[in-house]
C-alpha cells in the first residue's frame, strides 16, 4: 500500500512558482515580501508573480516540508515571517534541476497577431511593431545591466550565493548566470530585429505609389 501525504506534486511541466521560490531561497532565507520584491524587479523578467500567489504558496510549501517559517520581530510591534529552505526543499529543487523540462505548447499573442496583421490599420500595425520594439528594448537594457553587474561583482544576490559555496564552484555559478542573460539578450535583439523588419514591411506594403 502506498501512502502519499500532502503530495502536491508539481509536474516538471508546470513550474508554477514553486521552483522559482525555491531557487531564490537557496541563496538565503527571505520573507514573502522580499521574494515579491525580487519578482517585481530583477528576477521578475525571468519569472513574475504577484504577492497574492506568493504568500499562500509559501504556506503550502511549508506544510509540504520544503520550507521552515520563522517569525521575526519587525520594529516594536510588527513581525514578519522569514522562510528558510529545508534539506527536503533543497533535495526537491535539486531533483527538479536534474529533470528535463517538459516543453509546453507555445502561446504567443504577438506572433498570433502578426499573422493577421492585414486586419489592422497601417498605423495600428506600425504601433504594434513599435510596442514590440519598446518592450524588448526595455528587457535588453535590464539584461545588459545584469551582465554588467555580474562582471563587476555588483550583484547582491549573486555575491550572497557565491559567499555560501566553495571557491572552486564560483566559476560555474557565474558562468551559468551570464549564459542565461546572454541568451535573453540575444533573444531580445532578435525580437527587435524582427519587429523592425515588420515596420519596413508595413511601409513597403502600404506605400502609396
Partner DNA sequence: ACAGACTATCTATGGATATAGTTATTGGCA
Partner DNA sequence: TGCCAATAACTATATCCATAGATAGTCTGT
Residues of this chain that interact with its own copies (CB under 8 A) are 15, 19-20, 23, 26, 44-48, 93-94, 97-101, 103, 105-121, 124, 127-128, 131-132, 135, 139, 169, 171-173, 175-177, 179-180, 182-184, 186-187, 190-191, 193-194, 197-198, 201, 205
Please give the residue ranges that form the binding site for DNA (CB under 7 A): 8, 10-11, 13-18, 31-34, 36-37, 48-53, 55-56, 58-59, 74-78, 80-81, 104-105, 107
66 backbone dihedrals φ, ψ, rounded to 5° = -85, -25
Cα 46 to Cα 102: distance, rounded to the nearest angstrom? 17
In the complex, minimum distance from the CB of residue 55 to DNA, in angstroms, rounded to a whole number? 4
174 backbone dihedrals φ, ψ, rounded to 5° = -65, -45
In the complex, minimum distance from the CB of residue 93 to DNA, in angstroms, rounded to a whole number? 15
* Residue 40 or 200 with smaller CB distance to DNA: 40
* Residue 27 or 67 with smaller CB distance to its own copies: 27
Report the 10 Å Cβ neighbour count for 32: 20
C-alpha pair distances (Å), 190 with each of 140, 142, 184, 204 = 10, 16, 10, 21
Q: Which does 59 bind (CB under 5 to 8 A by kind): DNA, its own copies, none?
A: DNA
* Residue 112 or 175 with smaller CB distance to DNA: 112
In the complex, minimum distance from the CB of residue 103 to its own copies, in angstroms, rounded to a whole number? 5
| Residue in 80, 83, 79 with CA at minimum distance from that of residue 62 | 83
Read out DSSP for 115-173?
TTGGGS-HHHHHHHHHHHHHHHHHHHHHHHHHHHHHHHT--HHHHHHHHTS-GGGHHHH
In the complex, minimum distance from the CB of residue 44 to DNA, in angstroms, rounded to a whole number? 11
In the complex, minimum distance from the CB of residue 80 to its own copies, in angstroms, rounded to a whole number? 25
Report the 10 Å Cβ neighbour count for 160: 11
Amino acid at each position: 500500500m502506498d501512502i502519499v501525504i500532502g503530495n502536491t506534486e508539481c509536474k516538471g511541466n508546470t513550474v508554477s512558482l514553486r521552483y522559482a521560490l525555491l531557487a531564490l531561497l537557496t541563496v538565503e532565507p527571505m520573507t514573502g515580501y522580499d521574494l515579491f520584491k525580487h519578482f517585481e524587479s530583477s528576477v521578475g523578467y525571468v519569472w513574475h508573480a504577484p504577492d497574492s500567489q506568493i504568500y499562500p504558496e509559501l504556506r503550502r510549501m511549508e506544510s509540504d516540508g520544503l520550507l521552515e517559517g520563522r517569525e521575526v520581530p519587525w520594529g516594536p510591534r510588527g513581525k514578519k515571517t522569514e522562510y528558510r529552505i529545508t534539506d527536503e526543499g533543497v533535495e526537491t529543487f535539486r531533483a527538479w534541476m536534474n529533470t528535463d523540462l517538459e516543453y509546453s505548447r507555445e502561446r504567443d499573442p504577438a506572433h498570433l497577431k502578426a499573422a493577421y496583421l492585414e486586419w489592422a490599420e497601417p498605423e495600428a500595425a506600425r504601433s504594434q511593431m513599435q510596442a514590440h520594439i519598446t518592450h524588448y528594448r526595455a528587457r535588453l537594457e535590464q539584461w545588459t545591466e545584469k551582465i554588467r553587474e555580474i562582471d563587476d561583482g555588483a550583484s547582491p544576490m549573486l555575491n550572497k550565493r557565491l559567499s555560501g559555496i566553495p571557491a572552486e564552484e564560483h566559476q560555474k555559478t557565474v558562468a551559468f548566470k551570464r549564459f542565461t542573460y546572454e541568451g535573453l539578450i540575444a533573444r531580445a535583439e532578435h525580437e527587435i530585429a524582427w519587429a523592425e523588419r515588420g515596420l519596413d514591411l508595413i511601409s513597403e506594403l502600404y506605400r502609396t505609389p
